[in-house]
Amino acid sequence: MILITGGAGFIGSNLINSLLSKNSSDIVSVDHKNFINQSYFINKKFSRILPAELNIFLKKNKKKIKTVVHLGAITSTTERNVKLIIENNLELSIFLWNWCEKNKKRLIYASSAATYGDGSNSFDDNESDDYLSKLVPLNLYGWSKHIFDRLILKKKKKPSQLVGLKFFNVYGPNEFHKSEMKSVILKIYEKVSNNLQVKLFKSHNVKFKDGEQLRDFIYVKDVISILEWFLDNPKINGLYNVGTGKPRSFNDIAKSIFKNTNKATSLKYINTPPKIRKQYQYYTKANIKKLRDSGYKKSFFSLEEGIKDYIREYLRKI
């Protein structure tokens, strides 16, 4: 049995759909009732429980559960409710880690590239405490992930498999519910498809021209492929970056979306709101050498390939 927290969310629903398409059995999704969106799933051949039922479920199914994939979290980078972040991103993660360690179960969990802060200390999935101590996340969400990474890596006892995945900028199907945290790809597509002008943030950094801010964007299909690879390789452990290693600009995104929607380019640069300027990342690039050295050999969708697939195979069919 695979227990997936955040199963009704963006990455979780894509993982469940992929596992179901491969006829995987005994999948249990944990999520809040108001997040359960039936339209995200290819079928309903899996079980669901609410977070309030998790403790009892774990006790009753201790022998059946083999792996916990912990994706559930408050993912907003602008969330300022410390209590909410601690309860959802730290206390739940620690509880699941303790349960997996005690019962010798596998744990694959979502960390984040937000742990790297402004990137001044590089984007290396280095597990040493000396390196991790130098990272300064720019928001509560990033701090919550960073604290959990450091906490469990210091522990001598481990679950039977322990993998932390530092997701970079993920985009793709099933992200409509994410509101302001939707990918910039979906936000731009929604503007373009409604014949509205696309507005990108100006650069307030002399090293970058307007729209040339660079991020490592990864298509969710590649994320799922990596997750399933770790599920298939129970002896591999560690903290890993999940990105393409090839940062691309917001201008590149806009250009690709205009091309795939056959719309004329309508683009304007606006000032980045002062309240988020100090938290704004101008450059991210996943170092994926560790992932490659561990044996993951599949190629990634290019930005153009991912956007084309997302628009033509999903967004245009909605």
- Report mean pLDDT in 10-residue bins for the chain, 318 residues: 96 96 89 73 89 96 97 90 95 97 98 96 96 95 97 94 98 93 97 95 95 97 98 97 98 97 94 87 96 98 98 91
Q: Which residues of 44-54 are buried (b: 16+ CB within 10 A; e: fewer)?
A: eebeebeeeeb
Q: What is the pTM of this model?
A: 0.95
CA 160 vs. chain centroid, Å, equals 23
Nearest to 201 by CA among 282, 255, 119, 116: 282
Show which residues are catalytic.
141, 178
pLDDT value at residue 260: 96
For residues 291 and 296, what is the distance between their CA atoms, to the nearest angstrom? 6
The 8-class DSSP code of residue 292 comes to: H
Tokens describing residue 113: 């590239």
Q: Is the dihedral of CA 190, 196, 197, 199 positive or negative?
A: negative
pLDDT at residue number 26: 92
Distances (CA, A) of 9 to 38, 45, 75, 92, 148: 11, 17, 11, 17, 21
- Three-class SS of residue 312? helix
Q: What's the pLDDT score for residue 276?
A: 85
Q: Strands, DSSP E only, in the chain?
A: 2-5, 27-30, 47-49, 67-70, 106-112, 161-167, 169-171, 198-201, 214-215, 217-219, 238-242, 248-249, 267-270
> What pLDDT does 38 receive?
62
Closest alpha carbon to 113 in 185, 216, 6:
216
Backbone phi and psi for residue 29, each to the nearest 5 degrees, phi listed first: -100, 135
DSSP 226-284: HHHHHHH-TT--EEEEES-S--EEHHHHHHHHHHHHT----EEEEPPPHHHHTT--SB-
Residue pointed to by tokens 């679950």: 159
pLDDT tens digits for range 93-110: 999 999 999 999 999 999
